């Protein structure tokens, strides 16, 4: 692939960094994903590689109302009264983990459900930026990663990639099972090293 074609390819690619927030990652996080802390260095490297290539970095985060009025029904018991639920707007748990920083030129997208596409403007944002390929990192594989990826495939994005060692679940077995399912619908599943070396 010629250098011009490679550069053009990356201009049409977005990196979605999903739910790398303290409540999902740190040891005392309210919805801690056991495998999340281990992938932080790989997520940092994937963001660095994306910026070097001129790839649009989109920070997909959960931010919820203090009273939980925008939370899924099955989690609403965690909010209200004296309870401070997970990823409440303005609270520490909603912040990105240390080492991850939103920079000028990046984009922050707030979601309140598993998929980054559900009831958000992500699809129109990507269309407006002429993005036809997405790369996904973050947590967790069976929920927000999987739902986002399946929606991207349903929306006919030309290429959908999940970096296997920059995504995580509660256990390696759960992670691997969901990666297997995503590969079966045409999703690319490179390691971070493989993705950094690739032109596709």
Average pLDDT of every residue of the chain: 95
Mean of pLDDT values over 143-157: 98
- Torsion angle in degrees (nearest 10) through CA of 60, 97, 76, 91: -110
Q: Which domain holds residue 174?
A: 3-197
Q: What is the pLDDT of residues 96-113, one digit of tens each?
A: 999 999 999 999 999 999
Q: Where are the beta strands (DSSP E) in the chain?
A: 13-18, 56-62, 107-111, 133-139, 159-168
Q: What is the pLDDT of residues 56-78, one digit of tens each?
A: 999 999 999 999 999 999 999 99
131: CATH: 3.40.50.850
Beta bridge partner(s), residue 60: 18, 109
Residue 99, sorted as left (phi over 0), alpha (psi -120 to 50) or beta, turns out to be left
Number of CB atoms found within 10 A of residue 20's CB: 25
Mean of pLDDT values over 158-187: 98
Instruction: Pick the closest to residue 139 from 29, 51, 56, 49 (CA basis).
Output: 29
Domain count, the chain: 1
Coil, strand or helix at 120: coil
Q: What is the pLDDT of residues 2-53, one digit of tens each?
A: 556 667 789 999 999 999 999 999 999 999 999 999 999 999 999 999 999 9
């Amino acid at each position: 692939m010629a250098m011009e074609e490679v550069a053009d390819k990356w201009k049409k690619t977005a990196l979605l960094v999903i739910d790398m927030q303290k409540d999902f990652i740190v040891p005392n996080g309210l919805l801690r994903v056991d495998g999340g802390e281990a992938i932080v260095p790989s997520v940092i490297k994937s963001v660095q590689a994306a910026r070097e290539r001129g790839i649009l970095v989109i920070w997909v985060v959960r931010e919820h109302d203090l009273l939980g009025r925008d939370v899924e029904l099955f989690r609403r018991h965690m909010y209200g009264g004296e309870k401070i639920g997970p990823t409440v707007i303005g609270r520490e748990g909603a912040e990105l983990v240390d080492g991850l920083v939103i920079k000028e030129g990046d984009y922050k997208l707030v979601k309140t459900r598993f998929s980054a596409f559900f009831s958000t403007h992500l699809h129109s944002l990507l269309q407006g930026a002429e993005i036809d390929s997405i790369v996904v990192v973050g947590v967790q594989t069976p929920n927000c990663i999987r739902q986002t990826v399946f929606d991207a495939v349903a929306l006919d994005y030309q290429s959908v990639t999940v970096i296997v060692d920059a995504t995580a679940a509660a256990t390696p077995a759960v992670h691997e099972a969901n990666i297997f399912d995503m590969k079966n619908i045409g999703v690319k599943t490179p390691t971070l090293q493989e993705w950094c070396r690739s032109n596709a």
